[in-house]
C-alpha cells in the first residue's frame, strides 16, 4: 500500500517542486507563508529541517537563486538592511570559533542563515502587487487553516493537546502545543490579522470588507485560544498602529480595538468554555523573571563577544547555580530560552551582534514608515507587534519573525516598481 501511494504521489510531488522552483515568488513564497503556523505538525521525519515550511523555504531559496541568475530586470535599490543582516550572520558565524558548543552553534547558524538568505534574495528580486497579494493570501489561508484546526480540536477532539507528554487533551490546555507552541502561534497570527484588519476598512467592496472582518475575528480567536498574554498585548499594539496610519476607516478600527480589549479581558479573567485558562507548574520550569535574572548575571562574562549562537541553554546551566533564588530547569523546551530577544542576542553574540540587531530593526521600521500610506499599516503594525512579542519570547529563529521583515521588503520593492512605472508613463511622449 505504501509503495502504491509513493507511485501515485511522486509525480504530484515532482510537479509541485518544479512549479515552486519555476515560480518561487508567486507560488513557493505564498505556500511557505501559509505553512508557517503549523510548525513541525506537517513534517517529514524528525529533523529540525524536515517541516513542510522548511522544505518550502528551501524551494524558495533555490528558486530565487535560479531566478536571479537569469533575470535581467532591475529591482528596487538594495536596502541597507541586507548588509546589516549579512553582517549579523557573519558575527554569528564567527562565534563558532569560541562557542561553548561549536556543533550546536553551527546547526543554529545553518537555520538562521537560511532565513537571512531568503530575506536577502527576496530583497534583491523585482516584486509587483500581484506577487505581494499572493503572499498576503497565503498568510491569511495559513492562519485560517490553523485556527480551524484548533477549533476542531476544541469542539470535537476533547480539547487542545496537553503540554505534558502522556496526558490526554483538555479544554483547559492551550492551542498550539502541537504546533509552534502557544506563545509563538499567537505571534504567527499577527501578520495575517493586520492584513485582514486593513482590508476590512479599505477594500472597495462592502462584501470584501465584511469577509475580511470575519477573517480578522478568527485570527483574534486563534490568539485567544493560545492563552498568550503577550500575543494579546501585541494584537492591541497592532491595532493602535493601524489606527494611527490608516488612510481611512479609523472609527471602525477603533471599534475593533475596544471590542478586542473587552473580549480579551473576558477570556483571560473569566475563561469562557475553558478558553485562555492557564495551569502553570512551578516545579519543573522557570518563569521569565528567573531566566532574566540568570541572563543578566551571565552578561558580564558573555556579553562582550558572545557565548556562541544558540548556546543560551548552556549559559543558563552554567550560571544558574551562582544566582540565589534562580530555578533549576528540568526538561527541555522553551523554558531554556531567554524569553527576550535582546537578552538572547546580547548573551550569544555580544555587543557586535546587539548593535547590528538594533541597527537593522531601526532601519526596517524606518523603511516601513516610508511606505505609501495606503499600504503602510499591515507591515509596520506587524513588525512592531512581532518585536514587542519578542521582548517576552526568543523567536528570532522562527519563520513568522522573518515574514514580518520580508513583508516590508516586498512592499518596498512593489512600491518602487509602481513609482518607476508612473515616472515612465509621465515621461512617455504624447502622440
Q: What is the pTM of this model?
A: 0.92
Would you state the cell numbers that stand for residue 116, as one nine-digit string? 537571512
SS3 250: helix
pLDDT tens track for 87-128: 999 999 999 999 999 999 999 999 999 999 999 999 999 999
Would you state the cell numbers that stand for residue 257, as one nine-digit string? 480595538
Q: What is the CA radius of gyration of the chain?
A: 22
Highest mean pLDDT among 13-27, 61-75, 345-359: 345-359
Q: How far apart are alpha carbons 71 and 160 in whole angstroms?
A: 47
pLDDT of residue 153: 93
- Of 291-295, 343-347, 401-405, where does mean pLDDT reach its minimum? 291-295
SS3 170: strand
Tell which residue, 43, 42, 122, 140, has the closest CA to residue 81: 122
Q: How far apart are alpha carbons 31 and 56 in whole angstroms?
A: 7
Q: Which residue has the higher pLDDT, 246 or 3?
A: 246
pLDDT tens track for 139-159: 999 999 999 999 999 999 888
The answer, yes or no, to whether residue 176 has pLDDT greater than 80, is yes
pLDDT grade, residue 50 (50/70/90)?
A: confident
Q: What does the angle CA 128 – CA 212 – CA 245 come to, to the nearest 5 degrees?
A: 65
SS3 118: helix
Q: How far apart are alpha carbons 408 and 58 in whole angstroms?
A: 21
Q: How far apart are alpha carbons 148 and 151 in whole angstroms?
A: 5
| DSSP one-letter code for 24 | I
Q: Which residue has the higher pLDDT, 288 or 340?
A: 340
Q: How far apart are alpha carbons 348 and 335 in whole angstroms?
A: 17
What is the rounded average pLDDT for all residues in the chain? 89
36 neighbors 142 (Cβ within 8 angstroms): yes
Tell which residue, 141, 145, 158, 154, has the closest CA to residue 225: 154
3 CB neighbour count, 10 Å cutoff: 7
164 neighbors 178 (Cβ within 8 angstroms): no
| Conformation bin of residue 248: beta by default, left when phi > 0, alpha when psi is -120 to 50 | beta
pLDDT of residue 323: 87
Q: How far apart are alpha carbons 382 and 314 in whole angstroms?
A: 32
pLDDT tens track for 177-209: 999 999 999 999 999 999 999 999 999 999 999
The answer, yes or no, to whether residue 431 has pLDDT greater than 60, is no
Could you identify the residue written with the cell 530586470? 73
The answer, yes or no, to whether residue 273 has pLDDT greater than 90, is no
What is the secondary structure of 42-62 as a DSSP string?
Answer: SBSSS-TT-BHHHHHHHHHHH
Amino acid at each position: 500500500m505504501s509503495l502504491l501511494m509513493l507511485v501515485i504521489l511522486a509525480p504530484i510531488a515532482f510537479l509541485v517542486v518544479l512549479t515552486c522552483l519555476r515560480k518561487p515568488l508567486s507560488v513557493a513564497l505564498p505556500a511557505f507563508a501559509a505553512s508557517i503556523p503549523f510548525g513541525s505538525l506537517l513534517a517529514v521525519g524528525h529533523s529540525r529541517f524536515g517541516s513542510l515550511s522548511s522544505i518550502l523555504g528551501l524551494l524558495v531559496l533555490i528558486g530565487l537563486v535560479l531566478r536571479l541568475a537569469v533575470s535581467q530586470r532591475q529591482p528596487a535599490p538594495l536596502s541597507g538592511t541586507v548588509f546589516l543582516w549579512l553582517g549579523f550572520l557573519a558575527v554569528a558565524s564567527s562565534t563558532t570559533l569560541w562557542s561553548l558548543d561549536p556543533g550546536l552553534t553551527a546547526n543554529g547558524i545553518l537555520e538562521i542563515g537560511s532565513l537571512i538568505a531568503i530575506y536577502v534574495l527576496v530583497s534583491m528580486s523585482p516584486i509587483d502587487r500581484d506577487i505581494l497579494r499572493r503572499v498576503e493570501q497565503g498568510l491569511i489561508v495559513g492562519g485560517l487553516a490553523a485556527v480551524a484546526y484548533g477549533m476542531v480540536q476544541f469542539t470535537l477532539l476533547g480539547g487542545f493537546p496537553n503540554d505534558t507528554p502522556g496526558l490526554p487533551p483538555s479544554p483547559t490546555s492551550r492551542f498550539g502545543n502541537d504546533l509552534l507552541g502557544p506563545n509563538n502561534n499567537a505571534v504567527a497570527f499577527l501578520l495575517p490579522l493586520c492584513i485582514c484588519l486593513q482590508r476590512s476598512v479599505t477594500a472597495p467592496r462592502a462584501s470584501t470588507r465584511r469577509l475580511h472582518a470575519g477573517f480578522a475575528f478568527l485570527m483574534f480567536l486563534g490568539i485567544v485560544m493560545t492563552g498568550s498574554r503577550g500575543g494579546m498585548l501585541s494584537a492591541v499594539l497592532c491595532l493602535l498602529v493601524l489606527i494611527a496610519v490608516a488612510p481611512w476607516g479609523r472609527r471602525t478600527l477603533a471599534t475593533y480595538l475596544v471590542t478586542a480589549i473587552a473580549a480579551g479581558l473576558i477570556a483571560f479573567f473569566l475563561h469562557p468554555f475553558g478558553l485562555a485558562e492557564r495551569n502553570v507548574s512551578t516545579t519543573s520550569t522557570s518563569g521569565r523573571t528567573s531566566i532574566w535574572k540568570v541572563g543578566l548575571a551571565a552578561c558580564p562574562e558573555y556579553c562582550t563577544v558572545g557565548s556562541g549562537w544558540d548556546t543560551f541553554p548552556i549559559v543558563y546551566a552554567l550560571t544558574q547555580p551562582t544566582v540565589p533564588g534562580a530555578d533549576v530547569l528540568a526538561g527541555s523546551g522553551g523554558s531554556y530560552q531567554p524569553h527576550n530577544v535582546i537578552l538572547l542576542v546580547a548573551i550569544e553574540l555580544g555587543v557586535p551582534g546587539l548593535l547590528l540587531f538594533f541597527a537593522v530593526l531601526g532601519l526596517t521600521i524606518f523603511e516601513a514608515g516610508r511606505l505609501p500610506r495606503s499600504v503602510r499599516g499591515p507591515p509596520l503594525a506587524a513588525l512592531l507587534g512581532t518585536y514587542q512579542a519578542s521582548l517576552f519570547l526568543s523567536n528570532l529563529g522562527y519563520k513568522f519573525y522573518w515574514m514580518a521583515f520580508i513583508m516590508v521588503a516586498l512592499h518596498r520593492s512593489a512600491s518602487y516598481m509602481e513609482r518607476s512605472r508612473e515616472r515612465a508613463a509621465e515621461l512617455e511622449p504624447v502622440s
